[in-house]
Amino acid sequence: MDGLRWRTIGAAAGIVLALVWVMPNIVSFSENSWWPSKQKLNYGLDIQGGLHLVMGVDVDGVVKESTTRMVASIKADLAKDQVEGADVKTDKPEAGEVIITVANAEAKKKAEKVLSEKYPTTLQVVGSTDNSVTARYFDAYLTEYKNRVIQQAIETIRNRIDEFGVAEPSISQQGSNRILVQLPGMADAEKAKQLINTTAKLDFMIVSTEKTQQELQALIADAEKAGNYKMAGMKYSDYVNKLNADLKGKLPEKTVLYFEKAPNAASMEAGAIPFLLRTDTDLTGGALDDAFVGYDQYGGPQVSLHFNTAGATKFADLTGNNVGKQMAIVLDKIVKSAPSVRDRIAGGQAVITLGGGRDRNGMMDEAKMISTALRAGALPATLEQLEERRVGPTLGADSIAKAKMGAYIGAALIILFMLIYYKGMGAIANVSLIINITGVFALLTSFGATLTLPGIAAIALTVGFAVDANVLINERIKEELAMGHSLKVAIKEGYHRAMSAIIDGNVTTAATAVVLLYFGTGPVRGFAVNLLIGIATTLFANVFVSKVIVDQLMVKFNVKKLSI
């Protein structure tokens, strides 16, 4: 009895949670509503329409640009070491190849020493003569560098798309030099393309201490109240521009107010940390050659920066004049990090430390995010539009209407079959099936997942193997009844003996879904996610909940006969 009571409570709790999560998709709740969850299910491009773009990334152009900067950097290093008659040129910039010519053999040794000391992991010597050295990017470095260019471009595009507030945009790499961008619900295609192709703006800015955090928060609250606006209801860039315009005269001269997203906040609106920044630092992403993840003496992740020759001088002066202060790294008016300057940093090399108190994976993720953001601003790749498709809302509505119709017809036939063939137990299976599908949509909503047509196909498949579980159970019960056992014993044995087949079938299906999730992309991954969720809800609803319902009928309502 106690076991049944707790199982009933567990089943009821699961059903209530599912209803709480799924109701916002059925009923519109206001922001001030008492309903605990207001999150709605996101719909993919194939359902609600939107914009489909394939962008070509000029990877070779970025490599050529990097090689050109490297030529200037090597020239400066050779001049600094007083290498006689040194000159640097490149005939194959797309391969990162440089040719260094010098006056004599002694100068050649000095040039080789400069390469081995300053570029040990970047350049390899591939040929030489009496007065020249030919060096080229390591193959592994060049491959990794090109991949980073793609990731930089993806990060840049994602920063742009966030301006629109598009729910669940899909931005992924295709091949070696293409990016697929899908924007569900996006109607303004021209504005989206213009924004995507805008170059990221990176700035290094000193944090001003003329106003405390409390004073900044008070100024922000007063400006929002006077202007009747909030960050949550505006694009971030529009909000920042309006806020700084409203605070003109109240903030110190040559300062600007930007924000950083709090580490645990889901969005900028949910946790924005204000920073008062000086605008007279004049150090931008154009001064940066590279940014990558490195490791400190204890193996902890950090971000290593490499400035070009002109940038190295500016950076040394900036850090030397602001020891003990914070230097904010700002990408598109968003503060990505604000490390403290401990000492003057000369030589064009710098490190951003991430501090402790967190797990290594969290620190590594932050280091990758900061380095990618820095490179996105410093090394913007030219994007060429290769393909554009606009999926209209009508087409999306038509697709989902047909998918719904197919799902409704299939579900109706299954429900009718279960009622006719299994009678009372079929009715219990149908109730469990409704709970099952409710649970699928509830979990998709709670995870913030995006529903696509392949996802709907997975839900339809869920209906199939959910009912299959009940068919196994009912057939086992019928076998037990045929052997002369009582209804109570038959139900107990039927569920028990069918469980191994149900577990085997669902485990093998789950294994297939995991493989699809790992190796698949786009729609295939969406199908796999929906399939895994369907397996979980099937085991809960069509096995656990259906058993609870039957036990309640047997024990609480003293049912002696149940048609099957």
The two three-digit tokens of residue 109, written as one number: 């040794």
E strand segments, 420-474: 450-451
Per-residue pLDDT at 95: 81
Q: Indicate the DSSP class of residue 372.
A: H
* Residue ranges of the chain that CATH labels 3.30.1360.200: 199-384
Return d(Cα 485, Cα 289) in angstroms, integer.
80
The two three-digit tokens of residue 531, written as one number: 């399939």
With residue 414 as reference, give the H or E element that holds it: helix 393-446
* Residue ranges of the chain that CATH labels 1.20.1640.10: 2-42+398-555
Q: List, in order, residues 6 or more apart from 458 with CB less than 8 Å away.
A: 526, 527, 528, 529, 530, 531, 534
Per-residue pLDDT at 541: 93
Residue 399: what residue type?
Answer: S
Return d(Cα 489, Cα 554) in angstroms, integer.
11
Residue 207: what residue type?
Answer: V
Backbone angles phi, psi at 338, to 5 degrees: -140, 70
Per-residue pLDDT at 459: 87
Q: Indicate the DSSP class of residue 268.
A: T
Instruction: Tell me the fold of 199-384.
Output: Gyrase A; domain 2 (3.30.1360)
Backbone angles phi, psi at 327, to 5 degrees: -115, 115
Burial class (CB in 10 A: 0-12, 13-18, 19+), 429: buried
* Averaged pLDDT, groups of 10, the chain, 564 residues long: 84 93 84 77 76 83 81 83 81 84 83 84 84 87 85 75 62 84 72 64 86 90 90 83 90 91 77 90 76 79 80 84 87 81 77 64 74 58 75 64 79 90 92 93 86 83 87 92 89 91 91 88 81 93 92 84 81
Per-residue pLDDT at 379: 43
- Computed on alpha carbons and rounded to an integer, the radius of gyration of the chain in Å comes to 31
Burial class (CB in 10 A: 0-12, 13-18, 19+), 197: middle
E strand segments, 102-177: 123-129, 132-137, 170-174
The two three-digit tokens of residue 480, written as one number: 């037990």
Backbone angles phi, psi at 325, to 5 degrees: -100, 170
Per-residue pLDDT at 354: 64
CB atoms < 10 A from the CB of 253, how many?
9
What pairs with residue 53 in β-bridges?
181, 388
**Residue found by looking up tokens 């190796």 in the block:** 519
347, 352, 353, 354: CA torsion to nearest 10: -170
CATH number of 2-42+398-555: 1.20.1640.10
With residue 182 as reference, give the H or E element that holds it: strand 178-184
